[in-house]
């Protein structure tokens, strides 16, 4: 899947696509053909980095994006990042 997986899924299918569980991605990317515009939305993940199951990533440079997404009226993708308390 990789960092561009959610974009590539939407582009290759030419249909709106929501992807989850890609720890480091949260956002929306649009692409278009001559006939339609489509989007891909990555909604991050819902893990708790402080738990032992995720200790393997404590030294990774990039941390998971904890978030969710809403698609309003089936047309408008809106990703939301969780407030992790950073200043």
pLDDT of residue 34: 92
Judging by DSSP bridges, how do beta strands 17-19 and 37-43 pair with one another?
parallel
Q: Which residues contact 48 (CB under 8 A, 6 or more apart)?
A: 54
Contact 66, 84 (CB under 8 A): yes
- What percent of the chain is modeled with pLDDT above 70? 97
How many CA atoms does the CB half-sphere of 56 hold within 13 Å? 3
* pLDDT over 90 at 73, yes or no: yes
Q: How many other CB atoms are there within 10 angstroms of residue 3's CB atom?
A: 12
Note the pLDDT of residue 64.
85
**Average pLDDT rounded to a whole number, residues 43-67:** 85
């Amino acid at each position: 899947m990789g960092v561009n997986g959610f974009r590539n899924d939407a582009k290759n299918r030419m249909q709106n696509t929501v992807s989850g569980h890609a720890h480091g991605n949260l956002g929306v990317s649009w692409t278009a053909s001559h006939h339609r515009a489509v989007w891909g939305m990555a909604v991050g993940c819902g893990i708790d980095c402080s738990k032992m199951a995720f200790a393997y990533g404590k030294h990774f440079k990039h941390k998971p994006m904890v978030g969710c997404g809403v698609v309003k009226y089936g047309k408008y993708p809106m990703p939301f990042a969780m407030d992790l308390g950073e200043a």
